[in-house]
């Protein structure tokens, strides 16, 4: 866990994390939570904040950090760094190497590698959750991700939908939770830098040309004219006027 536990930024992020957990009833007594740790900044911050002492969340729950290595060859020892971080901080963890990344980018699937990669990675996470007795899966999707997903689904999927903070799946046997749902990406990056958290570089060949990156750049341009654009979109999702939709 990070050392700077009493900084103003830590207390700010911790407040929003706990408020979100309580608002959406994400954690209950006796829960076993699988934290999906890609090794990127967002998931490292989620693990750090989630594993620090809670003031208002039930104390009796456990965490399991799970890293699915997608199999890209040029990790430059980053996964060894991640393993060392888990061990030095006493996290219970599972690290699994796969060929998901290569399969998703194979010749027969070049049209939409992101979809297949995400699907296979989640399938494996669900299998590990079942095997290890986890009833909750925590993903590190933050406020910006939720906003971007809404626009991606409108632009490309022809639907008005996004990620939900607490999502029941498999008939309620499992829940996907997103404790960072109310925290902006820039604050997450700032905290990771402040605490010197290790992060694995994203070596996916599609990461620089993804739809999400396009939407992020679009929002940045719009934010140059209206600094509240992201906040307005986020609040609009809680202010839906059904009578004015088709």
The pLDDT tens digits of the residues spanning 81-96 come to 899 999 999 999 999 9
- Regions in the chain scoring below 50 on pLDDT: 1-4
**Sequence-ordered alpha helix ranges (H) in the chain:** 8-23, 41-51, 78-88, 100-104, 113-132, 143-156, 185-195, 211-225, 229-236
pLDDT confidence of residue 149: 97
Q: Angle 127-78-53 (CA atoms, 0-180°, nearest 5)?
A: 65
According to DSSP, residue 153 is labeled: H
Adjacent-strand bridge partners of 138: 35, 177
How are beta strands 166-169 and 136-138 bridged, if at all?
unpaired
Give residue limits of the domains in the chain.
Answer: 8-244
Instruction: Give the distance, in angstroms, between the CA of residue 18 and the centroid of all CA atoms in the same chain.
Output: 16
pLDDT confidence of residue 203: 73
The CATH homologous superfamily to which domain 8-244 belongs is HUPs (3.40.50.620)
């Amino acid at each position: 866990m990070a050392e700077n536990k009493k900084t103003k930024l830590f207390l700010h992020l911790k407040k929003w994390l706990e408020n979100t957990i309580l608002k959406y009833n994400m954690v209950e007594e006796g829960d076993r939570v699988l934290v999906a740790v890609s090794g990127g900044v967002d998931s490292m911050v989620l693990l750090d904040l989630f594993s620090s002492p809670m003031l208002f969340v039930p104390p009796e729950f456990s965490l399991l950090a799970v890293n699915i290595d997608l199999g890209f060859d040029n990790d430059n020892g980053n996964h060894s760094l991640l393993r060392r971080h888990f061990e030095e901080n006493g996290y219970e963890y599972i690290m699994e190497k796969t060929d998901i990344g290569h399969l998703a980018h194979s010749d027969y699937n070049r049209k939409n590698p992101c979809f297949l990669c995400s699907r296979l990675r989640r399938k494996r996470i669900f299998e590990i959750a079942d095997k290890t007795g986890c009833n909750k899966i925590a993903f590190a999707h933050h406020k910006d991700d939720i906003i971007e997903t809404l626009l991606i689904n409108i632009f490309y999927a022809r639907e008005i939908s996004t990620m939900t903070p607490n999502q029941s799946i498999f008939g309620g046997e499992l829940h996907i939770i997103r404790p960072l749902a109310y925290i902006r990406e820039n604050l997450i990056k700032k905290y990771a830098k402040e605490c010197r958290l290790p992060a694995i570089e994203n070596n996916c060949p599609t990461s620089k040309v993804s739809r999400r990156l396009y939407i992020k750049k679009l929002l940045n341009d719009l934010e140059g004219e209206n600094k509240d654009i992201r906040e307005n979109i986020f609040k609009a999702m809680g202010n839906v006027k059904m009578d004015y939709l088709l």
